[in-house]
Amino acid sequence: MYRIAFIDGDGIGPEISRATRLVLDALNSMLGIGMRLVDVEAGDAALARYGRALPEESLDAIMGSDACIKAPIGESAADVIVYLRRLLDLYANIRPVKAYPGMRALSDGIDMVIVRENTEDVYSGLEYDIGSDASIAIKVTTRRACMRIAEHAFRIARKRRRNGRRSVVAVHKANLLRRTDGLFARCCRDVASRYPDVRFSEMYVDACAMHLIRRPEEFDVIVTMNMYGDILSDEAAQIAGSLGAAPSANIGESYAIFEPAHGSAPDIAGKGIANPLSLILSSGMMYEWLAGRYGDERCARASALIEACVRSILSKGIMTPDMGGRSGTMDVAHAIVEELGHTGGVG
C-alpha cells in the first residue's frame, strides 16, 4: 500500500486537486494499485488556521509517506516547497514540455525535458542589504550539485529515444559568470565525456530563450541552473500550448514531490475553469517514479494510461479555456475517467 501525501493547495489548488483525485481513484481501482491519499494541510490556508504554512503534523505526514502530490500554494509557497526541496534534498526539478495533438503549440514536434538544479543558485536565500541603497544576492554553486544534476540529465537523455537522437544542452551564462556558471559548465562537460552516446552542446541562457521560440522542436534535454530553469520552463510550457498543462517533479535520492509548474492562479480561482492537466500529468510522473523505485509494473501502466488518455481527450478538443477550449476543470477529469474505461486498463 503506497501512502501518498496530498496537499490541496491554494487558489485553483483545491479545484485541480479534486479533478486529480477522481482520476487517481479510477486508475488505482482499475489497476488494483493499493494507494492511500493522505490529506496534508499546507500553504496559505494552513498559515491562516495554524499560524504556520507547514505545521509540524503536516511535516510528519509527509515524512511518513512514500511520495507527495502537491497542488500550487499561494503567498506562502517559499515556506512550503522551497523549504521541503532543501530539507529533503530534492535536487532535481524535472519539467517535461510536450505538445499534445490539439494544443496551440508553436510547433507540433515539441517534446523536451528541462532538468533544473533545485537546491542552489540565487534561490539559496542569501540576500543582504548593504546600507540603505544597495543589496546583494549570493549565487551558490557547488561541484557536488552540478555533477549530480548533470548526471541526472544524462541518465534521462539515455532513456529517451527521440527521433533516434539523444541530446543534452547545458544552459548557462559562463561567459559572464565565469566562476559559478563556469563551474556548472565544466561539470556538465565532465559528465558528458562519460556518455559518448548522448550528443552534448552548450548554450547561453539568453540564446536559449530565443531558440526555444525559434526552433523548440529541436530541444531534447536541457540541463540548467535553478533560476534559468525556473524562467525557461515557464516559457517552454507556454510555447507548447499552456502553462496550465505543465507538470513537474522534485526528485531526491529516496523521496519525490510532484506538482504543477505553475502557481496558484488566483485570477481564475473558484471559476471551475482551471486546467487540471498539470496536476494529473504530475501524478503520471509520480506513477513512473514509483514504478522505477519499486519495480511496480502496474504503476508503469498507470503512467502510460494517463499519458494516452490525456492525448486522446485533447485530440477530441476536450480542454479548458487556457488551451483554447470550453471545458471546465471537472469535465476534463470526467473525460479522462471515461477514456480510461475505454482502454480496459491497457496502456
Report the interface residues with ligand ATP, using CB under 6 A: 12, 77, 243-244, 262-265, 267-268, 274-275, 278, 320, 322
Nearer to ligand ATP, 78 or 207 (CB): 78
Q: Which is nearer to ligand ATP, 269 or 300 (CB)?
A: 269
Q: Which one of 50, 83, 89, 234 is the catalytic residue?
A: 234
Out of 79, 121, 230, 331, the active site residue is 230
Which residue number has the CB closest to ligand ATP?
A: 263
Kindly tell me which of 66 and 121 has the beta carbon lying closer to ligand ATP.
121
Instruction: Cell 536559449: give the residue.
Output: 208
Q: At 219, list the grid cell.
A: 530541444
- Is 173 an annotated catalytic residue? yes
Number of C-beta neighbours around residue 345 at 10 A = 14
The yes-or-no answer on residue 123 being catalytic is yes
What's the min distance (Å) between Cβ of 244 and ligand ATP?
3
Shortest reach from residue 16's CB to ligand ATP, in Å: 6
Gap between the Cα atoms of 270 and 267, Å rounded: 9
User: CA-to-CA distance for 114 and 229, rounded, in angstroms?
Assistant: 7
- Closer residue to ligand ATP (CB): 181 or 322: 322
Minimum distance from residue 76 beta carbon to ligand ATP (Å): 11
Per annotation, catalytic residue among 98, 173, 220, 228: 173
Query: Which residue lies nearer to ligand ATP by CB, 20 or 28?
Result: 20
Q: Indicate if 133 belongs to the active site.
A: no
CA atoms in the 13 A half-sphere facing the CB of 93: 25
Tell me which of 206, 271, 294, 316 is the catalytic residue: 206
Q: How far is the CB of 237 from ligand ATP (least distance, A)?
A: 9
Rounded least distance, CB 75 to ligand ATP, Å: 9
Positions marked active-site: 123, 173, 206, 230, 234
